[in-house]
Structure 1
């Protein structure tokens, strides 16, 4: 398909983080963009402020007439949209070009120098670090991010079309539409078993992705993963390795050993060993591309992070409030490790919203173990996203598995009152559902209380 022949792009699920980045991209490139989403959010507000028309009812009658031309309209949808969606079925049944988001991303990037980040954890942060490094090194880059960059206040970095940086998403095997020049795999932990069934199938999919590189392409993997490639790791014998880690005024300072030399005195402001690993692989990919070392050091020091990835909303001596997207037991463990490294003597209250019935079912014991580490736990109902309820899989069922006497099941409208009753000095909200919509209210309540 030739994207140059398309005048109009219609998105079904336009408010999704990946979909909205594509919407911004096509809008910036002169296409007429519009779409549907189920709910109004901050992202849809921002898109509408750009002049993109969005409606929130699944109704063919609300689609603008210019999108009804089969010859000039591309329809993009996300797998989160159910097959019963009337607009999606209208376009499918009337000979429109209807493509998944991942397929469109593959089309956009196939004629660029594509750098792709795969893995069950760390994709968004690593992608945003790499996009920032390349941008600061004056590379002509477009980066599609799975979160809102604090440096750019957007999920799209648009500095040129020579290089593309993308998240290679394993969900629904979407990453198999890509053909990267440089790629990495950060992790292959069990996840998305509603799609894969068995973890072995998930691993096979990552192996398939590793074979999608263009001729003479380069693949990086975190040391220990069962795929032969350039390795990276922390304080080990990897090809790229972080060494001599120190914490100075809440900032990591370290050296990086490359295959050819050592880059000294690098500063990085995000806490947690998982973020150190993300910074390392982004740096390694930029080095392999050819970016100057000293420019990379300056760029990494200026990286601010991604919204809802260990985002500080209050940071004082007496009170800290952090919000994070963690929705898998390993991600929760990583957040806990970062908190304990930065605040070893402070009491932590964690408010967690489970994401998906299937994920809660498949990892219930692991969730219980990771959540039990916190001093206090408040558990919200499961956020269903694309799923219908599964009999017996509830937050109460999960709560009973948590080995901690300070645990409660609450509703969202109880969050503020429960926080105010706690004597915790560190407050943490975690989850990939709509818990992020509560941040503003929590922040305001804590500021008033303090």
Structure 2
């Protein structure tokens, strides 16, 4: 990236044109929508056409899917008026990115832009190796349902608002998903921070778990003086000059649930907090892990001044996040749930939640491993979690930004499982499912498995009609 220049020190909102390299990423698309909303010319490149890129195009944002320089519209070639935003997932030899660097455009990583936009506001930065998308989406929904209101840059599409960007003309609050990948969250200086978990992940970047934990320590040191840290009980985080709060599911903490009950597939609980107890809360979003996520979001809301009635209302009408325990079909004889889980712990939580809701049903899971390095590093954990399923179908590894690693494939997981599973190509999957007896179907993964969700949904709906 270019060194600091006079152009970088100016307000980035002064640029007329914003060009995104990797515009289809969930975090990038939220920022693209923001600049479009404030009247900028917005254009971008992405490798793949997706549901999200289609939505951006419908909103008037131009996108190209070829990285040739000739694809860049002429107005975005004016380096004095164009800011280039890129994601670290883009390879350094990318043709457009190389061109912008060579021509001395101002380039900024997505996280840097998020830092510039959020620093003047009261930031709520929600971090953690698991749960941050649901916690940030629910926190934003609670704020939106209250007198506080908020802006939000989310890492998933909120089902309540059908977008990953929320804007307010008057609120000083902004809810941010603080991503640990590439140490991106070190660009943020929140007023309130949440850390949900620090399990080993992204070891291709961090090398070892201790380095990941050190980076989380660095993140919480960036909380503004006098601010607040809400963390999962047991995490070894001790920033100075901030107010510290712990939360847990049922273990005693500053914020925790008691009298937790599963009623018709949804949870009810009492929320214990430092000043008392709020009884009879109902979470309209399924999954035991989401009660824990709701406690984290509720802690932030109460600390920031949301009333108990506002909190109760918001929890009861939260519709969730696209691809997070996302019901696609919910009938008496057939259920289809799509979930983004791509780490062994996330798989365990997702599958366990489904088993708790449907204890007497056969559960079939389709899992697409994400990244060769993650498959290599966590094959034992993946196998253990997937063994919770009654039937398992593995797709080939989704490589994302990585090149193949010799000896690493989905077979590595399959060979470690105690239950019998099978590997299937994406092309053969629909036919395989048509021939299977399905009661509860669960799709799992962070790659392009989402492209199979609608065809699977269509196949399952045809079965219901028969």
With structure 2 as the length reference, what TM-score do the two structures score?
0.95
Moved more, 127-136 or 159-168: 159-168
Q: Is the 8 A contact 2:257 2:270 kept in 1?
A: yes
1:102 lines up with 2:111 in the alignment: yes
1:190 lines up with 2:200 in the alignment: yes
What number of residue pairs does the alignment pair up? 449
1:348 lines up with 2:363 in the alignment: yes
Q: Distance in 1 between matches of 2:120 and 2:149?
A: 14
352, 365, 378: which is aligned to 2:393? 378
1:441 lines up with 2:455 in the alignment: yes
* Aligned-pair Cα RMSD in Å: 1.0
1:222-371 residue pairs with structure 2 within 5 A? 222-228=232-238, 229-371=244-386
**Structure 1: gaps of 5 or more residues:** none
Q: Distance in 1 between matches of 2:139 and 2:199?
A: 22
Query: Could you report, residue by residue, the CA deviation over 1:228-270 in whole angstroms, capped at 9, with x for unpaired residues?
Result: 4310012222001111111222221111111012111111022
1:408 lines up with 2:422 in the alignment: yes
- Hey, what does 2:172 align to over in structure 1? 162
Q: Distance in 1 between matches of 2:341 and 2:412?
A: 20
Q: Distance in 1 between matches of 2:148 and 2:378?
A: 41
Measure how far apart 1:296 and its partner are.
1.1
- Hey, what does 1:45 align to over in structure 2? 54
**Structure 2: gaps of 5 or more residues:** 1-8, 239-243
Task: Give the 4+ runs in structure 1 shifted more than 6 A.
Answer: none
Q: Distance in 2 between matches of 1:396 and 1:284?
A: 42
- Hey, what does 2:128 align to over in structure 1? 119
Measure how far apart 1:272 and its partner are.
2.2
153, 164, 169: which is aligned to 2:162? 153
Q: Equivalent residue of 1:152, what SS? A: coil
- Hey, what does 1:424 align to over in structure 2? 438
1:13-92 residue pairs with structure 2 within 5 A? 13-92=22-101
Query: Could you report, residue by residue, the CA deviation over 1:328-358 in whole angstroms, capped at 9, with x for unpaired residues?
Result: 0000000111011101111100000000000
- Hey, what does 1:203 align to over in structure 2? 213
Q: Distance in 1 between matches of 2:28 and 2:368?
A: 23
Q: Distance in 2 between matches of 1:159 and 1:332?
A: 35
Q: Distance in 1 between matches of 2:19 and 2:147?
A: 32
Q: Distance in 2 between matches of 1:235 and 1:35?
A: 45
Moved more, 151-160 or 367-376: 151-160
Query: Could you report, residue by residue, the CA deviation over 1:400-431 in whole angstroms, capped at 9, with x for unpaired residues?
Result: 111112x1110012222222222231111100
Q: Distance in 1 between matches of 2:289 and 2:221?
A: 26
Moved more, 395-404 or 336-345: 395-404
Q: Distance in 2 between matches of 1:249 and 1:367?
A: 30
Q: Is the 8 A contact 1:250 1:269 kept in 2?
A: no
Q: Is the 8 A contact 1:192 1:359 kept in 2?
A: yes
Measure how far apart 1:194 and its partner are.
0.1
Q: Equivalent residue of 2:279, what SS? A: strand
